[in-house]
Structure 1
Amino acid sequence: MSKFPITRETLAQVAPKLAALSEEVLFGDIWQRSELSPRDRSLITVSALVALSRTEQLPYHLQLAEKNGLSGSEITELITHLAFYSGWPTAASALAVFAQLTLE
């Protein structure tokens, strides 16, 4: 992972327009649409991040997934399931991030 994690605050300093789009469009519109629950959106988002090996984004979205109702065992199962679709290394990397969050 990066030594300089991008948070909402640092994103706003580095790329104000991208931060505004994230707040207004992604989290203000897309995540608020009623067609999928926040829990379902978290399942989809974490799955995509795992499959694409986007480990820098995983900590935030794993924590959000738990806030949106996913249990630790469900997240572990999601990652285990993806090992067979996105590859063993992507799953192992995601489990390392998840383990670090849960053991802190």
Structure 2
Amino acid sequence: MNGQVNFLTNGGNETYDDVRMNSLEEAKNLAISGGLDGVVLEVKGMFRNPSVVREIKESNLSLLTYGKQNAVAGLKTGLEGGLQGKQKTYKIELSFLLNLISHVIQH
């Protein structure tokens, strides 16, 4: 498969039945065990736990962020720690799923 496959997590900003959506540690563990390329994190989760950038990078995973506070000035913490990029849309879930479906159909 070409392209990155990442796990999308809210990072504990809201509560979901799926623990991986609530915990950055669980999201990181899933990405590692599933052979994924990285984690896509709602940016408020990074602000609440800035060390996550370093931890995910040390795990050889990429880290992308999304969310309303995903402004360049607000990402200084992440960029200093090695953040790879940010999403420009709030509809990351939809675009991520469409991209994944497209890759699955091609293979």
Common fold, TM-score beyond 0.5? Answer: no
Q: Using structure 1 for the length normalisation, give the TM-score.
A: 0.34
Q: Which is strand-richer, 1 or 2?
A: 2
Q: Using structure 2 for the length normalisation, give the TM-score.
A: 0.33
